[in-house]
Amino acid sequence: MLVVHGLLGRFSVLDVLVHLSRIYKVKLGDGWAVAEIPRASAKILEKLDNHITQNL
């Protein structure tokens, strides 16, 4: 994915994994919700055009 979107020069695979590990799902009452996504992680998701939080 990084090569296809031209981001391999800016981000390593480890960088992307570290940023994505900061996205949390929290339990509120009976349901689950995605906690606030950090700005850097949101920018990486936007650049990758990958909606991993869509069905969370």
* pTM beyond 0.75, yes or no: no
pLDDT in single tens digits along all 56 residues of the chain: 788 888 888 888 999 899 889 989 899 999 988 899 899 888 888 888 877 766 65
Q: What's the pLDDT at 6?
A: 84
Q: What's the pLDDT at 54?
A: 64
Token pair in block for residue 10: 């800016």
The Cα 30–Cα 20 span in angstroms is: 25
Which residue range(s) make up the domain with 54?
1-56
Our count of domains for the chain comes to: 1
